[in-house]
């Protein structure tokens, strides 16, 4: 069932976000909220090799300037906020008569 696949993925991402590695601090210990550790294999990572990371899986941003990366991150955050507002609008439309 697709619903359980979504729940499993969300559960895995929640579990993964709680990990602390030498290169990634937990957000309660001075790390950045919403920042996930990279999928690295080895002693400090996961035992199974994963070919891609969550952000920039194909390494398109390795030649970008920091200014361009910051601008694109800001655009991505604004797109997420607009998507949340859109979903909220659909929920309000369902519950408010008229």
SS3 for 21-72, per residue? ECCECCHHHCCCCCCCCCCCECCCCECCCCCCCCCCCCCHHHHCCHHHHHHH
pLDDT tier for residue 41 given thresholds of 50, 70 and 90: low
Q: How far is CA 86 from the centre of its chain?
A: 20
Q: What is the mean predicted confidence (pLDDT) over 20-30?
A: 77
Confidence class for position 44, pLDDT limits 50, 70, 90: low
> What's the pTM?
0.54
pLDDT digits (tens, 9 = 90+) for 78-98: 999 999 999 999 999 988 887
Neighbour count for residue 4 (Cβ, 10 Å):
8
């Amino acid at each position: 069932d697709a619903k359980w696949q979504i729940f499993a993925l969300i559960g895995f991402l929640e579990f993964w976000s709680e990990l602390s590695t030498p290169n990634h601090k937990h957000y309660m210990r001075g790390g950045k909220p919403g920042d996930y550790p990279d999928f690295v294999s080895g002693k400090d990572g996961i035992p199974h090799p994963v070919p891609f990371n969550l952000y920039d899986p194909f390494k398109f941003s390795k030649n970008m300037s920091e200014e361009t990366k910051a601008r694109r991150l800001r655009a991505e955050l604004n797109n997420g906020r607009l998507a949340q507002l859109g979903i909220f609008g659909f929920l309000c439309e369902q519950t408010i008569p008229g």
